[in-house]
């Protein structure tokens, strides 16, 4: 059966010292009682090794927020999937709308990134979602379908079974606007249906589909109570240990 997961995406926040302090605080908060879901923190690259080290043996797993579409070589400033893996991180967030919008990450680039992440035994948390105009035009289903078909539906059934999906409506990210639980359930069910159509019902049932976009301690429980919402990818509210813990406690 699929796993419930609460994953944090710190984005470009926290110095190394602040990030280590946040991870330590979270570890302490979670030590008393095992959470009812998987817990992942997506840190900037420079935090990965330290945070992976300090969370070793705890329930907390570590994710990078990106990895390169090339294996190695003369790509100044890039970080490969193998490098991410060598830090002790187990996950990598790929296809985030901020990467697509601000860094020109195309379907094709993301397809390469997913393949390289899997080759290096990282679990991709693959993000999909529509922008406001697309939602207003009722095109959200079409958009997520195209994103899946172009970047992850090339995978074998076995490899697809290794990835986690995150539905993040772009209009809900950092805006305080959240998809209603009904909107989230509707599109998550649609996404699961697409997976069933491509890989079969069993793979679809086993795929964790997280919701992201202004998820907070006040709305997490209602969002996560939907049958097809298997947790959250949390931006702003993952930067405070108490808030992130409260979201984890929604399970
Ligand atoms: P917020 O929770 O800040 O809206 O960000 C969501 C997000 O983009 C997580 O990847």
pLDDT at 79 over 90: yes
**pLDDT one-digit tens code per residue, 121-132:** 999 999 999 999
Helices (H), 87-219: 97-102, 107-119, 132-136, 140-151, 157-160, 181-199, 201-206
pLDDT, tens digit, 9 for 90 and up, residues 7-41: 999 999 999 999 999 999 999 999 988 999 999 99
Binding site membership of 214 for ligand 1 (Cβ less than 6 Å): yes
Q: Which of 98, 105, 134, 168 is catalytic?
A: 168
Domains held by the chain: number: 1
Q: pLDDT tens, 169-190?
A: 999 999 988 999 999 999 999 9
β-strands 91-94, 60-64 pairing:
parallel
Rounded to two decimals, the pTM is: 0.98
How does the average pLDDT of the chain come out, rounded? 97
In the chain, DSSP finds a helix count (H) and a strand count (E) of 12, 8
168 as an active site residue: the answer is: yes
Reported as a single tens digit per residue, the pLDDT across 131-174 is 999 999 999 999 999 999 999 999 999 999 999 999 999 999 99
Q: Find the 200 Cα to ligand 1 centroid distance in Å.
A: 30
**Other residues' Cβ atoms within 10 Å of the Cβ of residue 93:** 25
| pLDDT number for residue 32 | 87
Residue 233 in contact with ligand 1 by CB distance below 6 A: yes
Q: Which residue's CA is minimally distant from atom 1 of ligand 1?
A: 235
Domain, as residue range, for 241: 5-248
The residue whose two tokens read 């490899």 is 159
What is the structure's pLDDT at 186?
98
Instruction: Supply the CATH number for residue 51's domain.
Output: 3.20.20.70
Q: How far is the CA of 11 from the centre of ligand 1 (A)?
A: 9
DSSP per-residue letters across 126-141: EEE---HHHHHTT-HH
43-46: long-range pairs with CB below 8 Å, 24+: 43/10, 43/14, 43/19, 44/10, 44/12, 44/13, 44/14, 44/19, 45/79, 45/84, 46/16
Instruction: Give the distance (Å) from ligand 1 centre to CA of residue 119.
Output: 27
d(CA 101, CA 97): 6
Q: How far apart are CA 171 and CA 130, in angstroms?
A: 8
Using a 6 Å cutoff on CB, does residue 247 contact ligand 1? Answer: no
pLDDT at position 183: 97
Q: Find the mean pLDDT for residues 215-231.
A: 97
Q: Is the CB of 173 under 6 A from ligand 1?
A: yes
Residue 213 near ligand 1, beta carbon < 6 Å: yes
User: Residue 35: what pLDDT?
Assistant: 97
| Whole-angstrom distance, CA of residue 63 vs CA of residue 134 | 29
Place of tokens 């097809």: 228
């Amino acid at each position: 059966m699929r796993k419930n997961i609460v994953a944090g995406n710190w984005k470009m926040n926290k110095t190394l010292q602040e990030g280590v302090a946040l991870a330590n605080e979270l570890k302490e908060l979670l030590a008393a009682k095992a959470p009812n879901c998987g817990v992942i923190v997506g840190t900037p690259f420079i935090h990965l090794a330290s945070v992976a080290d300090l969370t070793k043996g705890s329930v907390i797993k570590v994710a990078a927020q990106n990895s390169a579409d090339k294996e190695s070589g003369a790509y100044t400033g890039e970080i490969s999937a193998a490098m991410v893996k060598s830090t002790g991180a187990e996950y990598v967030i790929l296809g985030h709308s901020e990467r697509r919008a601000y860094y020109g990450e195309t379907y094709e680039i993301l397809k390469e990134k997913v393949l390289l992440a899997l080759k290096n035994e990282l679990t991709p948390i693959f993000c999909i979602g529509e922008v406001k105009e697309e939602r207003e035009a009722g095109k959200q289903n079409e958009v997520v379908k195209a994103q899946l078909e172009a970047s992850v539906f090339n995978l074998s059934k076995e490899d697809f079974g290794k990835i986690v999906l995150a539905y993040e409506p772009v209009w809900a990210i950092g805006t305080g606007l959240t998809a209603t639980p009904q909107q989230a359930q509707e599109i998550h069910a649609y996404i699961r249906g697409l997976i069933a159509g491509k890989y079969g019902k069993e793979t679809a049932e086993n795929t964790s589909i997280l919701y992201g976009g202004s998820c907070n301690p006040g709305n997490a429980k209602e969002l996560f109570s939907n049958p097809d919402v298997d947790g959250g990818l949390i931006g702003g509210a993952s930067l405070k240990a108490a808030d992130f813990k409260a979201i984890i406690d929604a399970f």
